[in-house]
Amino acid sequence: MPDAKAIIDAASRLTKELKPLRFADPVSHVYLPTEYAWETHRQYLEKYGSGKKRVIMLGMNPGPWGMAQTGVPFGEIPAVRDWMGISGPVQKPDPEHPKREVVGFDCERSEVSGRRLWGLFSEKFPEAKAFFKDHFVVNYCPLVWMGETGKNITPDKLPKAEMEPVEIACRKHLAAVIGAMEPEWLIGVGAYAEKKLIETVKEYFPDKTFKTGKILHPSPASPIANRGWEPQAEKQLLEMEVWQ
């Protein structure tokens, strides 16, 4: 059974490359969950990231009540703890925003995107290892940017010059994951993630062909997603023939 060493090493490298980066106003705080929640992030990679996968699904960056608390992409706590069987101590980001406290698995807020995403997958695959046998979910970038009020700042709102080193490191990490897992399908969770998959393949795998596509992002900020995300996403996966 191949182990997950290649992707654990890639995640560790990405964390080291992103940690020293600095961002100007309006960013007041930056969280890097793959550093302070490394223990549970590593568990996720170790438990579910080994071997080849048929499908890689890519998210954008951590949500405040999901991966920012658990270290797992779209990391809604009940899904991570009860379905994936992952838990453990989570350290504090430094500095911590007073309105965006990290309490790890004691967080009582729900990460709606993660509840929807893992809710669909756990309904289709009651056993997590059955899902992860062929699928893997990874985030493009593990950084969370916040303003003075605690409001989330998305990567597209940051200056190009500040984002350039982030992009280089994230594409390199994504290429390492793709190279290790040799998937047939690359699926963006949302249009932004699909765009990042296409850019990374173009740069790192110019002679390889992957099937690419996207599903609707499960964010509660999306009116379409709020009209029943699960059936819409399932329909997209069936129409692309990612799922039978």
Evaluate whether residue 38 is within a structural domain. Answer: yes
Q: Determine the pLDDT at residue 1.
A: 44
Q: Give the C-alpha separation, 43 to 51, whole Å.
A: 15
Domain count, the chain: 1
Q: Determine the pLDDT at residue 156.
A: 85
Per-residue pLDDT of the chain (244 residues; tens, 9 = 90+): 468 999 999 999 999 999 999 999 999 999 999 999 999 999 999 999 999 999 999 999 999 999 999 999 999 999 999 999 999 999 999 999 999 999 999 999 999 999 999 999 999 999 999 999 999 999 999 999 999 999 999 888 999 999 999 999 999 999 999 999 999 999 999 999 999 999 999 999 999 999 999 999 999 999 999 999 999 999 999 999 999 9
Evaluate whether residue 243 is within a structural domain. Answer: no
Alpha carbon 192 to its chain's center? 13
Q: Which residue stretches of 29-135 are H helix?
A: 33-36, 38-48, 67-70, 77-78, 112-124, 128-134
Evaluate whether residue 161 is within a structural domain. Answer: yes
Token pair in block for residue 241 = 């023939």
Evaluate whether residue 244 is within a structural domain. Answer: no
Identify the domain containing residue 59 by its residue range: 5-236
Evaluate whether residue 134 is within a structural domain. Answer: yes
Evaluate whether residue 242 is within a structural domain. Answer: no
Task: Count Cβ atoms below 10 Å from residue 123 Cβ, excluding itself.
Answer: 10
Q: Give the C-alpha separation, 172 to 58, whole Å.
A: 14
Q: Determine the pLDDT at residue 2.
A: 64
The model's pLDDT over 97-129, given as tens digits with 9 standing for 90+, comes to 999 999 999 999 999 999 999 999 999 999 999
Strands 185-189 and 135-139: unpaired
Evaluate whether residue 177 is within a structural domain. Answer: yes
The phi and psi torsions of 43 (rounded to 5 degrees) equal: -55, -45
Evaluate whether residue 181 is within a structural domain. Answer: yes
The phi and psi torsions of 135 (rounded to 5 degrees) equal: -120, 155
Distances (CA, A) of 25 to 18, 35, 61, 135, 141: 18, 23, 19, 38, 20
CATH of residue 128's domain is 3.40.470.10
Asked whether the beta carbons of 222 and 231 are under 8 A apart, the reply is no
Q: Give the C-alpha separation, 177 to 62, whole Å.
A: 18
Query: SS in 3 state form for 13-45?
Result: HHHHHHCCCCCCCCCCEEECHHHHCHHHHHHHH
Q: Which residue stretches of the chain are H helix?
A: 5-18, 33-36, 38-48, 67-70, 77-78, 112-124, 128-134, 160-181, 191-204, 229-239
Q: Determine the pLDDT at residue 155.
A: 87
Q: Considering only CA atoms, which of 105, 120, 132, 118 is closest in space to residue 51? A: 132
Give the bridge partners for 144, in sequence order: 31
